[in-house]
């Protein structure tokens, strides 16, 4: 009979990436995770876009000038960054390192390209792909937003269709069906809990 070494259980902090195409419900799932009471550090993104009236620096975003952001790029202080509608946004390395060092799991929301960047930097990150029950459902969600011009919507739909093809680059896939958000959130929580019970835990280095 084999015996368990009771000194073997040493949970390591996880670096978790929530990704997937536009319209899949990534923000809704993150909101559900925040309300779940889990002891997780939710990464705050740095951006050069102006702060809106209700937003708080350091909570919603780190609001930086383009000069400050350029300095962070030059000094390799960002895990990844992108230009979104003429403004820059990116993930500060130091924030993630400090949270991991404190023993907390770290969770970040990235587009599919950003997730691929993180996988190269930190192969032990947990990549979770959020999607809909079908491509048709995804397109319908994007159309019902009605927040973009016809041209922008067409581009977003085309991009989403390409992103759906990259699911094989991820560790897990979670289907966020219409009306089943709570179930999708619970599935993500179950993935996180299961990862903490691996015999050979992931060791994240950044």
Catalytic residue numbers read: 52, 145, 156
Q: Which helix (H) or strand (E) holds 114?
A: helix 112-121
Q: Which helix (H) or strand (E) holds 34?
A: helix 26-35
Residue 33 neighbours by CB under 8 Å, 6+ apart: 40, 42, 107, 185, 188, 189
Is 145 in contact with 99 (CB distance < 8 Å)?
no
DSSP string, 160-206: HHHHHTTGGGSSEEEE--TT-HHHHHHHHHHHHHHHTT-SS------
Report the distance separating Cα 62 and Cα 46, nearest Å.
4
Q: Kind of pairing, strands 78-84 and 62-63? A: unpaired
């Amino acid at each position: 009979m084999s015996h368990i070494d009771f000194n073997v259980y040493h949970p390591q902090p996880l670096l978790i990436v929530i990704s997937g195409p536009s319209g899949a419900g990534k923000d809704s799932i993150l909101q559900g995770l925040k309300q779940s009471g889990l002891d997780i550090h939710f990464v705050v993104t740095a951006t050069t876009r102006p702060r809106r009236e209700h937003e708080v620096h350091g909570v919603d975003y780190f609001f930086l000038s383009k000069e400050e952001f350029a300095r962070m790029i030059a000094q390799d202080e960002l895990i990844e960054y992108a230009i979104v509608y003429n403004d820059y946004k990116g993930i500060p390395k130091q924030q993630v390192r400090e949270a991991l060092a404190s023993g907390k799991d770290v969770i970040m929301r990235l587009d599919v390209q950003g997730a691929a960047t993180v996988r190269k930097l930190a192969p032990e990150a947990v990549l979770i792909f959020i999607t809909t029950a079908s491509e048709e459902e995804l397109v319908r969600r994007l159309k019902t937003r009605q927040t973009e011009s016809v041209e922008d919507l067409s581009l977003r739909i085309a991009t989403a269709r390409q992103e759906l093809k990259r699911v094989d680059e991820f560790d897990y896939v979670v289907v966020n069906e219409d009306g089943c958000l709570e179930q999708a959130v619970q599935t993500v929580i179950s993935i996180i809990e299961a990862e903490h019970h691996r015999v050979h835990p992931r060791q994240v280095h950044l």
